[in-house]
Amino acid sequence: MEITFLGTSAMVPTKDRNVTGIFLKYRNEGILFDCGEGTQRQMNIAGINRNDVTKIFVSHWHGDHVAGIIGLIQTMANKEVNPTVNIYGPSGTKEHVEHMKKMVIFDIQINLIVHEIKPEPDKILKVVETEDYLVECAALDHKVPCIGFSFIEKDTLNIHPTKLKELGIKEGPHLRKIKEGLTVTYKGKEIKPEDVTYLVKGHKITYIADTAACENAVKLAMDADIMISESVYADKLQGKAEDYKHLTAKDAAMIATQANVRRLILTHFSQRYKTVEEIEENAKMIFPETVCAYDFMKVKI
């Protein structure tokens, strides 16, 4: 699993920071959390194949989070085999996608599946579930409908080779069944999963997009290995953050503390900050395991 930050600026791009885009590579899936203007070019620079994108999770429909979608799907559609891309977003997403498709003239040679997500207030909603992972979401507190997401890898059972040797169990299809949690009979002896396996805990990554500090952000991020959070302002601009329903560094750090996350990565910085040392220092005073992201930063998990 690898996270690549394709843009770490807020509404206005700078010469060093593009607008929001976060790419998660997980096995054969390529998942984008938001897709601001210029995201596919950022993917080129980062060495990411745009055709690997399988899902786009849209936090909200402010332009700095979605303006790159139209160019991306147009480029992806330029293939002999039409790809499938799923777009997930808050209320209004289906209408916005239809308007987006009418913005330019091209034949959309792509299987575009749009899912409109409407989480109930104060509740976590499961959006996607596969054999390997699930994605949950929750409503955030922004000036327009906005949701945050958690990517949660499922726990797995791994075979302990020493225990296999002790019990005289050879390689074979029976091991696959054991890893699936099934009891098998091997040479007349019943072998339970707990006899030869150990639990590998799955990872959790939470993305807190544009929002005022709210309880849902804490609920969504609970026990995450990594919480990626917007932090438009340093603490000195608390009033401005409240006016525009954004987070300061202190706000994000408080959410991380309350949610018992392991690591906090801040992003979505106002163009007013030429460097982000002040933001990082503000957050570290409350939550020491904090770093500020930068464009093309990669995090392997």
Element (H, E) at 266: strand 263-267
Structural contact between residues 145 and 92, judged by C-beta atoms closer than 8 angstroms = yes
- Backbone phi and psi for residue 284, each to the nearest 5 degrees, phi listed first: -65, -25
Location of structure tokens 């401005």: 240
Structural contact between residues 6 and 72, judged by C-beta atoms closer than 8 angstroms = no
Q: How far apart are CA 138 and CA 152, in angstroms?
A: 14
Q: How far apart are CA 48 and CA 259, in angstroms?
A: 31
Residues labelled catalytic: 64
Determine the 3-state secondary structure of 59 from DSSP.
coil
Element (H, E) at 265: strand 263-267
- Which residues are CB-neighbours of 250 under 8 A, at least 6 positions away? 235, 238, 282, 283, 285, 286
Q: How far apart are CA 282 and CA 81, in angstroms?
A: 49
